[in-house]
Amino acid sequence: MTPVVIGQYVPVDSFLHRLDPRGKLVFVFAFMFLVLFVDRWPSYLLLTLFVLLAVKGARIPLALFLRAVKPILFLIILTSLLHLFTTKGGGVLLQTPLFSVHEAGVEQAVLMSLRLFVLMVTATLLTCTTSPMEITNAIEQLLRPLTKVRVPVHELAMMMSIALRFIPTLWGETQKIKKAQMARGVDFEAGSLFRRIMNHIPILIPLLISSFRRAEDLAMAMEARGYRGGEGRTRWRELTFARRDLWLIPTAATLWLALWYLEK
């Protein structure tokens, strides 16, 4: 498996895998909304615990989700450092001529790290437990009312699904091109930061050409199978709500009430 985990579907028989994708999408977006707006320690600890329990329920190794966080590790560290050195308040923990570290800065740095971690793991959990086709069908059905105002819902859902599906594929292609360039003597770690950035140009051009080639092959394959857009299309598997999907409602209500109490 490639280092990029988000966008990959892990076919495991679990309770989360069997849930209706429409309910999972609505729940995940509502959950991410809560993550972005809470700002207290107990709330973040509750959200982190909930996500870890969901990972356990998905029967997917935790190491897989830690690998998903790795691509944004630099962003997490950078955001934490910015809050650490710029947020003032509380007692002074470290004082230097150039900067000072306050208690509020440490608190905000840790909270922002937890926020980004929870968001990334939640998005990965959705893609690991829901196939790209299920995500496409769920998005299309949830956005179906927009067809009344001539919004191309089916085409938008298909574009999102294809983009999500090809994230791991393009990452694997990038690694192959990088290894091929390294075999030809290109050193991606030598020189200054600007020089290292310029050294990656030999990767971008072959990757762009490969992406266009894959897009052309995909278009030809879809046309050969009679794809002409969403109008009049039927599905082999129709999405239906089951009794197990009703558990999402009390779960969301309980989580919201708990966060509301902790944020008071």
CA 116 to chain centre: 10
* 95 phi, psi to nearest 5 deg: -125, 125
Nearest to 214 by CA among 253, 254, 172: 172
Contacts of 160 (CB under 8 A, 6+ apart): 135, 136, 139
Neighbours of 1 (CB within 10 A): 10
What is d(CA 140, CA 152) in angstroms, rounded to the nearest whole number?
10
* 134 has pLDDT over 70: yes
Whole-model pTM? 0.75
- Decide: 68 and 30 in contact? Cβ < 8 Å: no
* 106 has pLDDT over 70: yes
Mean pLDDT of the chain: 83
End-to-end CA separation in angstroms for the chain: 44
Give me the mean pLDDT over the 95-114 stretch: 83
* 2 has pLDDT over 50: no
What is d(CA 34, CA 135) in angstroms, rounded to the nearest whole number?
22
Give me the mean pLDDT over the 185-195 stretch: 76
What is d(CA 54, CA 46) in angstroms, rounded to the nearest whole number?
12
Going from the C-alpha of 134 to that of each of 24, 165, 230, the distances in angstroms are: 11, 12, 15
* 159 has pLDDT over 80: yes
Confidence of residue 242 (pLDDT cuts 50, 70, 90): confident
